[in-house]
Amino acid sequence: MKKTTGMVLGKFMPLHRGHELLLNFAANFVDELYAVTDWQEEIDGEKRCEWLRRTVPQAQVFYLETPMPQAPEDHPDFWNIWRSALLGAMPQKPDYVFASEQYGFKLAEVLGATFIPFDLKRESVGISATQIRGNVYDQWDYLSAAAKRDYLARVCVFGPESSGKSTLARQLAEHYKTTWVPEYARLFIKTKGDPAREDMIHIARGQAALEDAMAPAASRWLFCDTDPLATTVWSRWLFGESPEPLAALARERHYRLYLLTDARLPWKGDAVRYFPGKGDEFLADCVKTLESEGRAYALVEGSGAARLENAVAILEAAKEEFFRL
């Protein structure tokens, strides 16, 4: 029996739960699914293709790199342009066209396919990509799981030891009802003892791995108690150098913002703290490192409730900027 093929065409800006439902419906309807998106200025096409691959890994994903007319009034040969582009991108003509919009009737006709409408009245997921783009933060729950991964605002709490980093990361997670990532070095050192020079790359990789493992459970924000860049600072302080593999890993990690905790809280010694009385000097090195690496940061001052309030004020002021690609 001949395998059936189907196509879903969309901008997916961004990919949301309604798209997910349509794509999975189509994938279950046919033997082979083609998911196609076209060039759009607002969100990079390769990013949208990656969302599609994560969401329907069984589908073949195609990207039309040439800008296309977006409405019949944009070009007198609108439908023929789309027909040629789509048939040129896909390995064969689809048997079915799936869509949640009225254009699917005409598109199926010009492709010589059968139209399978799905939720034209948006009763299953009552949202549009335009609405989500207008306010990603408030419409977060409508984003697809794949898109959430890229919109997630990762914030690193960075600074000297005994400056309240863990407390602030935990408090911010509680305030925003999300997840925070603890410092992997603490777990490593408490288990193995004082680190050796060669352990620093393992600590940095452990921090990155823990962060990525916890990210899917986060909502809007992910607060990270330190990062691999902080491990480069610690490597210099403990061993006088930051090896290139460690520095390379730090360069790969990206955060919307670093919240830099000042060194004015009272020192509290424990088994994984090493430099009492060096808080100001360590803080200065943190500033130098963040600036030399071109990382955006904001100093968080105060103590107790005031420190949390100051951090929240910083994040609220930048929230609109953070939640866009």
The 10s digit of each residue's pLDDT in 115-171 is 999 987 777 777 889 999 999 999 999 999 999 999 999 999 999 988 899 999 999
b/e per residue, 143-182, with b = 16+ CB within 10 A?
bbebbbbebbbbbbbbbbbbbbbebbbebbbeebebbbbb
Measured in degrees and rounded to the nearest 5, phi and psi for residue 228 equal -60, -25
- Tell me how many domains the chain contains: 2
* pLDDT for 2 beyond 90: no
Claim to verify: residue 126 and residue 35 sit in the same structural domain: yes
For residue 140, what pLDDT is reported? 97
Q: Determine the average pLDDT of the residues in 210-225.
A: 97
**What pairs with residue 156 in β-bridges?**
224, 258
CATH assignment of the domain containing 98: 3.40.50.620
- What is the span of the domain harbouring residue 43? 5-142
For residue 263, what pLDDT is reported? 76
Residues 6+ apart with CB under 8 A from 292: none
Claim to verify: residue 167 and residue 75 sit in the same structural domain: no
What mean pLDDT is reported for the chain? 94
Which of these three, 89, 122, 142, is where a domain ends?
142
Claim to verify: residue 160 and residue 126 sit in the same structural domain: no
Residues 6+ apart with CB under 8 A from 24: 55, 56
Residues 6+ apart with CB under 8 A from 258: 155, 156, 157, 158, 290, 295, 296, 297, 298
Which token pair is 113? Answer: 């396919």
Q: Determine the average pLDDT of the residues in 270-276.
A: 71
Percent above pLDDT 90 for the chain: 85
Claim to verify: residue 57 and residue 163 sit in the same structural domain: no
Which pLDDT tens digit goes with each residue over 68-118? 999 999 999 999 999 999 999 999 999 999 999 899 999 999 999 999 999
Claim to verify: residue 28 and residue 111 sit in the same structural domain: yes
Asked if the structure places residue 297 within a domain, the reply is: yes
Which pLDDT tens digit goes with each residue over 239-252? 999 999 999 999 99
CATH assignment of the domain containing 288: 3.40.50.300
* pLDDT for 20 beyond 90: yes
